[in-house]
Amino acid sequence: MIQNVSECIRTRRSTRLFAKKELPRELVEQVVEAGRYAPSGGNNQSTHFLVIRDRGVLDRLAKMAEEAFAAMEETPEMYKSLRNSVRASKKGGYVFHYNAPVLIVTANQKNYGNNIADCACALENMMIMANDLDLGSCWINQLRWLNEEPALVKALQELGMTEEERVYGALALGYAATEDGQPNRNPLPRTGNPVDWIG
């Protein structure tokens, strides 16, 4: 489908509706490997990938996140997307990972100044690779917002996260639930990022 690198970068969009169809491990591995090749501060290479495909674990994490958000109070200065999570959780039935068949959690050292940036580079690589493989993906921030929530920290530590690590992003991954099975590649409605040329 994808012709080249430029097209793959330009047609990457978020997928939020996933087909109930398992993903072959081989495809997931290709996505994770792309993430592992992302640069890191001082070549630190400490981004820790938790590749979760167990339905029971995914359901449990969704429930725990919903409970944590439901217990929060909305504030006026709250980040818009976080407020949406809080509201949806109070109503009930909120699933932060869109019931994707795979959730790739990126953790990193909590006392490392490049933790967010390194995880973001890995996530971006994985989103581009997913698009190249005709898979849908979406950046997931909820486990980062809750990355000091004791119950979730404990649950993630049981999955392999170390005591020195915290979550700085995640990726929902799967086949898009579209008619042709292809991920959302609608052209961006706008490209709002400003650019200034100096020289």
Residues from 163 through 182 that contact a copy of itself (CB under 8 A): 168-169
Phi-psi category of residue 93: left, alpha or beta, with phi > 0 → left and psi -120 to 50 → alpha: left
The count of residues interacting with a copy of itself (CB under 8 A) is: 71
Find the binder of a copy of itself among 16, 55, 63, 87 (CB under 8 A).
55
Applying CB under 8 A, does 21 fall inside the site for a copy of itself? Answer: no
Distances, alpha carbon 32 to alpha carbons 109, 126, 170, 191, 195, in Å: 19, 6, 12, 28, 32
Interface segment toward a copy of itself; rule CB under 8 A; list 38-46, 63-71, 88-96, 146-154? 38-46
Least distance CB 175 / a copy of itself (angstroms): 17
Residue type, 42: G
Applying CB under 8 A, does 76 fall inside the site for a copy of itself? Answer: no
Applying CB under 8 A, does 149 fall inside the site for a copy of itself? Answer: no
State the Cα–Cα distance between residues 121 and 106, nearest whole angstrom.
11
Interface segment toward a copy of itself; rule CB under 8 A; list 3-11, 64-72, 89-97, 174-182? 3-11
Applying CB under 8 A, does 6 fall inside the site for a copy of itself? Answer: yes
Least distance CB 151 / a copy of itself (angstroms): 17
State the Cα–Cα distance between residues 87 and 73, nearest whole angstrom.
9
Per DSSP, 148 falls in state T
**CA proximity to 171, closest of 46, 26, 12:** 12
Q: Which residues 6+ apart lie within 8 Å of 30 measured at CB? A: 129, 133
Least distance CB 94 / a copy of itself (angstroms): 17
Find the angle CA(95)-CA(97)-CA(98) to the nearest 5 degrees: 70
Applying CB under 8 A, does 140 fall inside the site for a copy of itself? Answer: no
Applying CB under 8 A, does 190 fall inside the site for a copy of itself? Answer: yes
